[in-house]
């Protein structure tokens, strides 16, 4: 019953994306900081961010929301890729993770093989990598 209501309510609306999750994360961080420091301005800024995120999720203007998310991913993309690379390297200690210098595709090779020639699976670029 509630699920059907939510499905009907969200029909035709944009929904969540990376920027929405980022805004939600900023809200949580600012909320915790406002509790720790007692600065109400952080709470107000967090409220503005969460309202912006809700507006984006409930919006019916797909093109505008996609353009905003694409602009956000252009800015945050290198940080997101770096964070994912660090996370993979931490979870899989037997492999060395690196990116292709041409297309930035994430690649991996076994550790301890010395300097090797790597051929990127995406673009075919051949480069040397120390593992």
> Which parts of 112-131 interact with Zn ion (CB under 5 A)?
120, 122-123, 125
Q: Name 73's bridge partners.
A: none
| Encoded tokens for 17 | 């994306």
Rounded Cα distance between 16 and 41, Å, is 26
- Distance, in Å, from the CA atom of 91 to the CA atom of 131, rounded to the nearest integer, reads 17
Q: What mask of x and - would describe binding to Zn ion in positions 73 to 102, judged by CB under 5 A? A: ---------------------------x-x
Q: Which is nearer to Zn ion, 111 or 121 (CB)?
A: 121
Distance (Å, whole) CA 113 – CA 131: 6
Q: Which lies closer to Zn ion via its Cβ, residue 32 or residue 123? A: 123
- Joined tokens for residue 121: 């699976």
Which of the 8 DSSP states describes residue 60? Answer: -
Q: Does 106 bind Zn ion (CB under 5 A)?
A: no
φ/ψ of 70, rounded to 5, equals -65, -40
Residue whose CB is less far from Zn ion, 28 or 123: 123
Total interface residues for Zn ion by CB under 5 A: 8
Minimum Å gap between C-beta 123 and Zn ion is: 3
Q: From the CB of 124, what's the least distance to Zn ion, in Å?
A: 7
Which of 88, 103, 106, 116 is the binder for Zn ion (CB under 5 A)? Answer: 103
Please tell me whether residue 105 binds Zn ion under the rule CB under 5 A.
yes
Q: Is the dihedral of CA 26, 29, 34, 35 positive or negative?
A: positive
Binding site for Zn ion (CB under 5 A): 100, 102-103, 105, 120, 122-123, 125
């Amino acid at each position: 019953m509630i699920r059907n209501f939510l499905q009907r309510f969200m029909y035709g609306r944009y929904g969540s994306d990376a920027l929405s999750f980022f805004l939600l994360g900023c809200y949580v961080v600012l909320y915790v900081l406002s509790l720790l420091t007692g600065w109400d301005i952080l709470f107000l800024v967090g409220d503005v961010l969460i309202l912006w995120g809700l507006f984006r999720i409930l919006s019916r203007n797909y093109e505008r929301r996609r353009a905003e998310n694409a602009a956000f991913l252009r800015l945050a993309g290198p940080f997101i890729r770096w964070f994912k690379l660090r996370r993979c390297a931490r979870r899989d200690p037997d492999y060395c993770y690196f990116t292709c210098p041409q297309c930035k595709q994430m690649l991996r090779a076994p550790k301890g093989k010395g300097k090797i020639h790597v051929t990127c699976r995406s673009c075919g670029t051949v480069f040397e990598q120390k593992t």
